[in-house]
A = this chain, B = another copy of it.
């Protein structure tokens, strides 16, 4: 499934990888995580009706909608759409009315917050690493605490 040449070169057949559950109706395949810069790359699939919670970008993100359609603050993004979400962008909940597949590069932490604007958790490269390794506990680490 994975061929690594010259130490750093990566070729992944993503179809052969398992989906990790990221949230209700949201699955993820983490393709690469840089432990140096924190940048990570993933395929994300959202089932019709699923939601990606309100969040703020503490780093930019960009990617393509490969299948389905994403509805978010900027507009409606059908398959074939390219998205760039800048550092500092605050996005209300993102929804899909149809099954949707996304390819994304994420360049920094993403902070999720509740309706009162209080941060509830921070998705960092460490979360991405844990999801890459298939850990069940991957998405419960709150607010980037140092290890106990």
Q: In the complex, what residues of B have CB within 8 A of residue A9's CB?
A: 74, 84-86, 89
* B113-A81 in contact (CB<8A): no
Give the size range of A's interface with the partner: 35 or more
Contact at A35–B75, with CB atoms within 8 Å? no
Q: Which residue of B lies closest to A126 (CB)?
A: B88
- Chain A residues with CB under 8 Å of chain B are 3, 5-15, 31-32, 34-38, 41, 54, 56, 58-60, 62, 64, 66, 73-75, 77-78, 80-90, 103, 105, 107-109, 111, 113, 117-119, 122, 124-126, 143-148
Contacts A8-B36, A13-B81 aside, 4 further interface pairs with beta carbons under 8 A come to: A38-B59, A41-B62, A119-B119, A119-B143
